[in-house]
Amino acid sequence: MSVIKQIMWDEWRYWQRTRLAITVIITGVVLIVASVIVNAIGIQHAKHEREHLQHAAESRFAEQPDRHPHRMVHYGHYVFRTPSPLSIIEPGVDSFTGTSIFLEGHRQNTAMFADQRQSSGLTRFSSLAPSFLVQVLAPLFIVLVGYASITREKEAGTLNIMMTQGVSKRHVLTGKLFALLGAGLLLLLPMILASLWASFRGESSLVTGSYIVGYLLYILVWSGVVLGVSALSHKSSASFAGLIGLWVVLCILVPRIGSSTAAALEPSPGKLEADFAVLEELRKLGDGHNASDPAFEQLKSNLLAQYGVETVEELPINFRGTVAQYSEKKLTDVLNDFAEIRMQEELSQAQIARHFGWLSPAVAIRSFSMIVAGTSLETHHRFLREAETLRFEFVQSLNKVHQDKLDYQVDMNRSKSAETSKAARVDASNWSVLSSFSFVPEAGGVRLVQGGTYGVQLLFWFGVVVLFLNLAMRRMSE
């Protein structure tokens, strides 16, 4: 053990005295620390702002004066997605998908205010997330620090001298691996501290623990890859070229190929095309604002029969409110069907892209990171579904108020004069039908189960690297 420790410490001493490696490590750490701080401040600010806006939107809705209930259906309401604690490290799809939705009757609006949509080209660099830095740049830093770990000893002839001191290849590789892991851990340290902080801010300890273990595995995999290639190479230049090539393939090309393959295998229609398809279906349902629309004849007949009356005027309920409820239900079913199809398409694409985690550890850690942090596509879909549930509930509650608390005749005469319009209002206390909205990602255990496959991908890469290091040890020339 002490031999391994000696080799590890000497590697650090070499990095420190040659300055290049230590400069690379310090640069990486500073970059990640800065990114963690900037993101943490940004996310905390966004969290408070969205919580405040959510509260303000709910108060504004509740404070509306007496009105016709259907005006409130169109007055609408906003819901905001508060970021998960771990999004200070992993913003995931949040910065692309939008954080707020305007809810109103008869429509399912898309989420708005995505950071990436609002930023111009250059300012996007300011949003370098810690997760991106660790997933993509940390391996590059490890390559820069460790590509010559073994080749340097071969070129200088010191590997032979080490061997003749009774040091085995296993000792050399293990000592160098620990040194490289130490450098990787330094790069990871800001993220580990941020994860602990997320735990302190309410994230489950099991989640943050697993999250840290996932990234440790990732750093271990890259340290092993770098060391193995260095052990198998005869010259530092060959090791460097090989590792840079591997980094480009594993961190840049495979993730891109994964996304392109997913889009090719699971093509989804454009937004315009999808909107036209929805409109075509909705047209068949009739206009819920018009109680005389032939589409509601059956509803009318059924109601008249149910109450044993001849005309809608004789009904004990406001037929317009009933039509609005009926129409909203039918319309929501159609919208939900389309929304589910779209979400399934997006999810299928994401899952195809995630399968590329078997080909690249960078894809594996990205999938694991987003899912466990609660910033994945699944979490965004959960937000859309919860927002839609709220929309449907408050719209239907208002439609019920319309049906039960507003007289049909008064309603029909609402446009005749200022007085009739005023009479066709309901009391503002009815606006309390709106439930408060607070979005939280799935429970930690659920996220860990969802991310399990990608944790297995990381373990697979760990296994591959162990085998690779064994091979490198056997074939390592002196």
Partner 1 sequence: MREEMVVASSLSVTFEQHKVLDGVSFKVGEGEVFALLGGNGAGKSTALKSFLGTVTPSGGSASVMGLSVASQIDVIRQKVAYLPESVMLYGHLTGVENIEYFLSLAGITSAKDKIESALKRVALQQDAWYRSLSNYSKGMRQKTAIALALLREAPVLFLDEPTSGLDPSAIDEFNQLITTLASEGSTIFMVSHDVYGACQIAHRIGLLDKGKIVGMFEREGDNPIDTEAVHASFSKRNG
HEC-encoded secondary structure of the chain: CHHHHHHHHHHHHHHHHHCHHHHHHHHHHHHHHHHHHHHHHHHHHHHHHHHHHHHHHHHHHHCCCCECHHHHHHHCEEEECCCCHHHHCCCCCHHHHCCEEEEECCEECCCECCHHHHCCCHHHHHHCCHHHHHHHHHHHHHHHHHCCCCHHHHHHCHHHHHHCCCCCHHHHHHHHHHHHHHHHHHHHHHHHHHHHHHHHCCCCHHHHHHHHHHHHHHHHHHHHHHHHHHHHCCCHHHHHHHHHHHHHHHHHHHHHHHHHHHHHHCCCCCHHHHHHHHHHHHHCCCCCCCCCCHHHHHHHHHHHHHHCCCCHHHCCCCHHHHHHHHHHHHHHHHHHHHHHHHHHHHHHHHHHHHHHHHCCHHHHHHHHHHHHHCCCHHHHHHHHHHHHHHHHHHHHHHHHHHHHHCCHHHHHCCCCCHHHHHHCCECHHHHHHCCCCCCCCCCHHHHHHHCHHHHHHHHHHHHHHHHHHHHHHHHCCC
Quote the least distance from Cβ 37 to partner 1, whole Å.
34
State which residue, 275 or 478, has the beta carbon closest to partner 1: 478
Residue from 166, 270, 294, 308 in contact with partner 1 (CB under 8 A) = 166
- Tell me the window of 156-164, 192-200, 209-217, 433-441 that interacts with partner 1 (CB under 8 A): 156-164
State which residue, 156 or 193, has the beta carbon closest to partner 1: 156
For position 474 contacting partner 1 by CB under 8 A, the verdict is no
State which residue, 166 or 294, has the beta carbon closest to partner 1: 166
Residues paired with 101 in a beta bridge: 79
Quote the least distance from Cβ 2 to partner 1, whole Å.
7
State which residue, 14 or 132, has the beta carbon closest to partner 1: 14
Decide if 9 contacts 2 (C-beta within 8 A): no
State which residue, 123 or 158, has the beta carbon closest to partner 1: 158
Quote the least distance from Cβ 33 to partner 1, whole Å.
27
Report which of 111, 4, 89 is spatially closest to residue 38, judged by C-alpha positions.
89
Residue from 27, 126, 168, 302 in contact with partner 1 (CB under 8 A) = 168
Cα–Cα distance, 440 to 148 (Å, whole number): 47
Quote the least distance from Cβ 242 to partner 1, whole Å.
24
Cα–Cα distance, 357 to 281 (Å, whole number): 39
Quote the least distance from Cβ 239 to partner 1, whole Å.
18
Quote the least distance from Cβ 162 to partner 1, whole Å.
6
Quote the least distance from Cβ 149 to partner 1, whole Å.
14
Residue from 164, 306, 415, 429 in contact with partner 1 (CB under 8 A) = 164
- CA–chain centroid gap for 426, Å, is 41
Quote the least distance from Cβ 84 to partner 1, whole Å.
46
State which residue, 3 or 112, has the beta carbon closest to partner 1: 3
For position 6 contacting partner 1 by CB under 8 A, the verdict is yes
- Tell me the window of 2-10, 33-41, 250-258, 314-322 that interacts with partner 1 (CB under 8 A): 2-10
State which residue, 7 or 353, has the beta carbon closest to partner 1: 7
State which residue, 8 or 434, has the beta carbon closest to partner 1: 8
Quote the least distance from Cβ 123 to partner 1, whole Å.
42
Residue from 23, 27, 160, 301 in contact with partner 1 (CB under 8 A) = 160
For position 266 contacting partner 1 by CB under 8 A, the verdict is no
Residue from 29, 88, 145, 162 in contact with partner 1 (CB under 8 A) = 162
Quote the least distance from Cβ 16 to partner 1, whole Å.
9
**Identity (one letter) of the amino acid at 311?**
T
For position 22 contacting partner 1 by CB under 8 A, the verdict is no
Residue from 26, 30, 41, 161 in contact with partner 1 (CB under 8 A) = 161
For position 415 contacting partner 1 by CB under 8 A, the verdict is no
For position 343 contacting partner 1 by CB under 8 A, the verdict is no
Report which of 305, 420, 390, 351 is spatially closest to residue 76, judged by C-alpha positions.
390
Residues paired with 112 in a beta bridge: 100
- Tell me the window of 88-96, 165-173, 243-251, 435-443 that interacts with partner 1 (CB under 8 A): 165-173
Residue from 26, 157, 234, 389 in contact with partner 1 (CB under 8 A) = 157
Residue from 34, 38, 163, 423 in contact with partner 1 (CB under 8 A) = 163
Residue from 313, 340, 427, 478 in contact with partner 1 (CB under 8 A) = 478
Quote the least distance from Cβ 14 to partner 1, whole Å.
5
Contacts of 448 (CB under 8 A, 6+ apart): 206, 207, 210, 372, 455
State which residue, 170 or 289, has the beta carbon closest to partner 1: 170
Q: Which residues bind partner 1 (CB under 8 A)?
A: 2-3, 6-7, 10, 13-14, 17-18, 156-158, 160-168, 478
